[in-house]
Amino acid sequence: MEHRRLGHSGLRVPALSFGTATFGGGNDFFKAWGATDAGGASRLIDVCLDHGVSMFDSADGYSSGLAEEILGAAIKGKRNRLLISTKATFPTGDGPNDYGSSRQHLINAVDKALQRLGVEHIDLLQLHGQDYNTPVEETLSTLDQLVRLGKVRYIGCSNFSGWHLMKSLAVSDRHGWPRHVAHQAYYSLLNRDYEWELMPLGQDQGVGAVIWSPLGWGKLTGKIRRGQPAQPGTRAHDIAGTGPKFEEERLFRIVDAMDAVALETGKTIPQIALNWLLQRPTVASVIIGARDEAQLVQNIGAVGWKLTPEQVAALDAASDVPAAYPVWHQRGFPMLRERGEER
């Protein structure tokens, strides 16, 4: 397993991480992802560790904390072999302080996560979303406190806009507080919005991308094609109205391009989609999920080889969409782009 530095930090993380949203199945939404119990989770974690997938990502919002509990039970006796990343910010109850990035909520959320996980520290704590109601200074000073107490090692964010992430980094620099070294973001061949502003920000500021839903919310498995819609029992069917938006014809065009690459490489459609991401700038780790061992082993097969530049270019072309403003305008002046790179 390849390991990469997480942003400008000294922490090295595996190129593939394992996501635990499939653990528990605590409600209809998460049941569509999976409902792995502690026994099944322990087996999947053993398979991950055998293949070098040593970082496990969770959140207090996954099945109302059940995913963290199952992860905690499954890693007993294995803690020194792995990294734990988890997230907090989204609602965990009905109380007025049961959500957000306030000092009150974050301290409480971290203490509860440590208890559910059965560990003494979290390797990477990420803010699950932006909280417009809490001053950035309050949030970051609290994260600094949690780091100093040894409860958290590194901090990151998830689903942030570029301006909010840059504001947070500037405040950290001003006060000497820990910086976000990771941005857990949605990015896939099906939706490439991350490239427009968040990727160049990550390059400039040393923020590594930890990619969630790399198979486009279950659309890039190769199972959805022209005349072949999503089937019952899959996320793409059971919770079809959720997740990122996309044009159906564009999805088919991407799958056609991946089919051509699959014939050239002998790799599966998911492996090709994951390998494409692993070659993108700023990407430190791609989070894979699996309901069973066979699916997990197939996804792990995305590492150990590389698409050729020609294959990458073909996938880029098939998945390209017109950029939003001001990106399309900036592209008209290539001499002004940093290092002359495409955005």
Measured between alpha carbons, how far is 233 from 12 in angstroms, rounded to an integer?
36
- Positions annotated as catalytic residues are 62
**Cα of 326 vs its chain's centroid, Å:** 26
Residues forming a β-bridge with 208: 182
In degrees and rounded to multiples of 5, residue 235 shows phi and psi of -60, -40
Digit-by-digit pLDDT tens for the chain (343 residues) are 999 999 999 999 999 999 999 898 766 666 566 678 888 999 999 999 999 999 999 999 998 899 999 999 999 999 999 999 999 999 999 999 999 999 999 999 999 999 999 999 999 999 999 999 999 999 999 999 999 999 999 999 999 999 999 999 999 999 999 999 999 999 999 999 999 999 999 999 999 999 999 999 889 998 878 877 766 766 565 556 667 787 889 999 999 999 999 999 999 999 999 999 999 999 999 999 888 899 999 999 999 999 999 999 999 999 999 889 998 898 888 888 766 454 4
Measured between alpha carbons, how far is 101 from 46 in angstroms, rounded to an integer?
34
pTM of the model: 0.92
